[in-house]
Amino acid sequence: MAARVVRTLVIALAGAAVGLLWNALSGRGFALGQSVLVQAGDELVEAPAAKALLDRGALFLDARPRDFWKVSRIKGALSLPEDDFDRAFADLEPRLRRAGGVVVYCSGYGCEASHVVARRLRERGILAAILDEGIPAWQDAGYVLEPGSPR
Amino acid sequence: MTGLLANPRVQAALRLILGGFFVYASLDKIASPAAFAKIVYQWQVTGPVASNLVAVTLPWIELLAGLLLVAGAWRHEAAAVIGALLVVFLLAAASVMARGLDVENCGCVSLARTAAASAWPPAWMKGVGWFLVARNLVLLGAAAALTFVPPRCATATPPSAPGA
């Protein structure tokens, strides 16, 4: 019985060890110590700091599909969906270039849309911070969403 | 039922199906660990760093246990490892469903993010939902049989002739 338990643990530990080695040596690996969504150049901002930016007039962008923005959003946020970026950016570009600050958010956790949108804005010369963990972090910090228009 | 599960041919079939499934399920994750880490994070069971660790270690445990099962080496232990993984997957799926989270692709086999509505497999087979729970329960049954039911000896003693 004890031998079986040892062999079971050997399988699990050997698999885990090979996985860690593969991640370190294969060239396909990634940094384990930070969110896999974060890349060099990404500027993350926590919910309280984002709220302070909002209060100072920063422009908030909702990177989720537009149907989600229509249901609810952070107060005053405009829709700049990842999946319709070029068209929406063309409409918003003058406002974005005038804005004193830009913060992008999406639905949080595994949501990558805010990171993608912030990078595309950066490519066009517009610096945008990313709300870390998105809407769940915003709500966990005690801030509310406003209902969208039924358009 | 136990007699059927102890049949060597049934046990061999269970080993090949269960082991083959886990070997296949590990390949896409090993090829794209960062993409798998994003999916693990979407389950919201672990934080970002723990999700990374799960993403780089879990597929190799699946591969090793699956290969051992297919090869028939350490089969009780390999089945026990797979059974333990399935219990964890079921608990995590229950947590996701109880919280009403929408995980579009469970990351169980393929990591493809989006597909056309008509594509195979359909969304209800890829997401975290009742299909995933049912499939994992079936796989868990197979893993339990391989872990706890010893195969019946294939060689039977022929009846001795009278007077021999």
A94 preceded by cis ω (within 30°)? no
Pick the residue of B64, B68, B99, B147 with the most A CBs within 10 A to test the interface with A by mutation: B64
Asked if the Cβ–Cβ distance from A36 to B48 is below 8 Å, we say yes
Q: Which two tokens stand for residue B8?
A: 């060597």
Tell me how close the Cα of B24 comes to any Cα of chain A, in angstroms: 16
Answer yes or no: is B160 within a domain. Answer: no
Unique residue bearing structure tokens 């041919």: B9
Q: Which one-letter DSSP state was computed for residue A17?
A: H
Number of structural domains found in chain A: 2
Answer yes or no: is A35 within a domain. Answer: no
Rounded Cα distance between A118 and A91, Å, is: 17
Chain A's closest residue to B31, CA to CA, is: A28
Give residue A95's identity as a one-letter amino acid code: R
Confidence of residue A114 (pLDDT cuts 50, 70, 90): very high
Answer yes or no: is B153 within a domain. Answer: no
> In this structure, are A50 and A111 located in the same domain?
yes
The mean per-residue pLDDT over the stretch A144-150 comes to 80
pTM of the complete model: 0.80
Answer yes or no: is B151 within a domain. Answer: no
> In this structure, are A14 and A59 located in the same domain?
no
Confidence of residue B164 (pLDDT cuts 50, 70, 90): very low
CB A65 within 8 A of CB A81: yes
Q: What is the domain extent for residue B106?
A: 2-146
Q: Which two tokens stand for residue B18?
A: 């269960």
Chain B's closest residue to A112, CA to CA, is: B38
> In this structure, are A96 and A25 located in the same domain?
no
Q: Which two tokens stand for residue A87?
A: 């068209």
Q: Is A107 on the interface with B (CB under 8 A)?
A: no
Asked if the Cβ–Cβ distance from B33 to A34 is below 8 Å, we say no
> In this structure, are A48 and A26 located in the same domain?
no
Q: Is B81 on the interface with A (CB under 8 A)?
A: yes
Answer yes or no: is A38 within a domain. Answer: no
Q: What is the mean pLDDT of chain A?
A: 92
pLDDT digits (tens, 9 = 90+) for B107-155: 888 777 555 555 667 777 778 889 999 999 999 999 999 999 887 775 5
> In this structure, are A23 and A92 located in the same domain?
no
> In this structure, are A100 and A135 located in the same domain?
yes
Rounded Cα distance between A121 and A89, Å, is: 9
Tell me how close the Cα of A52 comes to any Cα of chain B, in angstroms: 25
Number of structural domains found in chain B: 1
Answer yes or no: is A37 within a domain. Answer: no
Asked if the Cβ–Cβ distance from B32 to A29 is below 8 Å, we say no
**List of residues 6+ apart from A105 with CB closer than 8 A:** A50, A60, A61, A62, A63, A74, A77, A114, A130, A131, A134, A135, A138
> In this structure, are A24 and A80 located in the same domain?
no
Q: Which two tokens stand for residue A15?
A: 């698999």
Q: Which two tokens stand for residue A63?
A: 């990177």
Helices B75-98 and B48-71: crossing angle in degrees, nearest 10, is 140
Answer yes or no: is B161 within a domain. Answer: no
Q: What is the domain extent for residue A120?
A: 44-147
> In this structure, are A20 and A55 located in the same domain?
no
> In this structure, are A16 and A66 located in the same domain?
no
> In this structure, are A92 and A66 located in the same domain?
yes
pLDDT digits (tens, 9 = 90+) for B39-97: 999 888 888 899 999 999 999 999 999 999 999 999 999 999 999 999 999 999 999 99
ipTM value: 0.84
Answer yes or no: is B122 within a domain. Answer: yes
> In this structure, are A55 and A20 located in the same domain?
no
Answer yes or no: is B159 within a domain. Answer: no
Ramachandran angles phi, psi of A45, nearest 5°: -135, 135
